[in-house]
Structure 1
């Protein structure tokens, strides 16, 4: 199989680099300065084992590859706000022997949140969810680090519509030979909904900084409480805290020090957008659908989007000011 990593940022490059290191055929899809840096100097990926330079094929879109191969696996790792453009571009690509990628090839959604699987299922016949536990950093073109140990990350896999098949077991075996644990589960979206709750804090990190603070922890607790309330109202199942701890503990220990999450990194790179609409915004949407107030998540989504849109530096807001905005919104709810 050939793995086409659509979005070779922190997550995509970490997975692609590790797969390549284990001998698998990998193509990276990137753009701008990041693509140029990888083409010129290779992908510099640092893991707990040290730094390696991976000289891999890099493209900006499917036209540069020509017809896709029947054994290609598409791994979607762009941020969710960029998923529609990527799915449309790659879904229409022709596959050798007839048909399009959307008709014939599998796509794995390795992203935070739960929306990409829905978007993919509208377009692709074979869609798989990936619940990603892979702390990694991408701040400089061509340079990515994923420093957890003893494993680089944990990637729960399954069919987005539920269940498993032979292909997902083959992919999991490739990932397990590449430094990951890759449990194949019947209910991958249950794991992704559970992961979403933790990602509600991404907007707090992005706006107030990644350094720990009791007030940040308290605000996250409030955001998660809203998330749990809307899940209950909507009848959405999620993996329990105990299940998640059992799956991770002792397997993916982060390196010492403070690390900014994906939304913080997006602001630091000045990308102009963050995932807040598909993280906190998912909770807000479910709250509106099921009559559950979500003032904290509404506030976090709004604040993170202002930071991205106006190019504000990450961490430029005090947690006291952010909390005051959430309190004000709660008073209006």
Structure 2
């Protein structure tokens, strides 16, 4: 299959490299500056398994490439609006589109634009972009895909993504899995952004009851939306966010602390809007949003 990876950041660069190393036909849709860097230097990927640089194929907009068989949307929510309108130039009637972002608004928007062609995608990887170098901190590399609205995952898509270096799986309840991850990421964002500290320091300051309240709030929204968090998912959230001495911080908090564009509205703002529609009280979520929105933005 011809695979288009939208974005060559931490997630796109990591998964794109692993797919390319497995012999898949991968092209990146990037901005002109990024194309210049990649054309000159290649894409460098540093992971626990090695440090390598590959020559890659790139495009910056509609050209003679035609439709791709599979499109992986790997940009952050802050860049999603800028690329969603460009995807159509590369999507034919048989193209499958898998967005790999946090939250749900992007899935619904793509499904509206490309009904029946969008699949749910859930990635687990710890990677960052260091300049133009993609660095993966741990060996965790998984990708879970599932159909939406009863549509199956095409066999050729599953075959293309099932490579030895990625723990790949197809599930039926992908929407529930996406909501479960969203509930955790939102709870972590509330905890770190509201108290402006890593988990261990918040616990030392007596914050455990508030951490548990944040988890309860986000999981209550998920449950009211018809996607209750599993017992295992709840236990994992509590374990990660109440571990004594933990240096854990959410990516949302790290972006805000660094003065970078953040996914606050996509992760927290959208969840708060849904909570209001569902009549679910979320006082800690609301306070966190006020603090973020009142702070100077990049």
Determine if contact 1:138/1:144 at 8 Å carries over to the other structure: yes
Within 5 A, what are the aligned runs for 1:1-333?
1-31=1-31, 33-61=33-61, 63=62, 65-69=63-67, 71-91=68-88, 93=89, 101=91, 103-125=93-115, 126-140=117-131, 142-149=132-139, 152-165=140-153, 167=154, 169-200=155-186, 201-202=188-189, 204-205=191-192, 208=196, 210=198, 212-213=200-201, 214=203, 219-241=210-232, 261-264=250-253, 266-267=255-256, 270-271=259-260, 273-306=261-294, 310-311=297-298
Report the Cα offset of residue 131 of structure 1.
1.3
Report the Cα offset of residue 115 of structure 1.
1.4
Q: Deviations over 1:120-172 (max 9, x none)?
A: 011113001111211111131x21112322xx41211011324523x2x4333
Report the Cα offset of residue 109 of structure 1.
1.0
- Alignment gaps of 5+ in structure 2: 237-245
Report the Cα offset of residue 32 of structure 1.
6.1
Determine if contact 1:27/1:56 at 8 Å carries over to the other structure: yes
| Count of residue pairs brought into register by the alignment | 283
Report the Cα offset of residue 3 of structure 1.
1.4
With the length of structure 1 as denominator, give the TM-score of the two structures: 0.74
With the length of structure 2 as denominator, give the TM-score of the two structures: 0.82
C-alpha distance in structure 1 between counterparts of 2:129 and 2:247, whole Å = 14
More strand by share: 2
Q: 1:179 to 1:239 in 2, by over 3 A?
A: farther
C-alpha distance in structure 1 between counterparts of 2:199 and 2:32, whole Å = 30
- Alignment gaps of 5+ in structure 1: 95-100, 246-256, 312-333
C-alpha distance in structure 1 between counterparts of 2:199 and 2:44, whole Å = 26
Determine if contact 1:203/1:304 at 8 Å carries over to the other structure: no
Determine if contact 1:226/1:283 at 8 Å carries over to the other structure: no
Determine if contact 1:11/1:134 at 8 Å carries over to the other structure: yes
Q: 1:34 to 1:262 in 2, by over 3 A?
A: farther
CA root-mean-square deviation: 2.9
Q: 1:296 to 1:242 in 2, by over 3 A?
A: closer
Q: 1:115 to 1:239 in 2, by over 3 A?
A: farther
Report the Cα offset of residue 289 of structure 1.
0.6
Report the Cα offset of residue 229 of structure 1.
1.6
C-alpha distance in structure 2 between counterparts of 1:172 and 1:6, whole Å = 19
Is 204-213 or 118-127 further displaced after alignment? 204-213
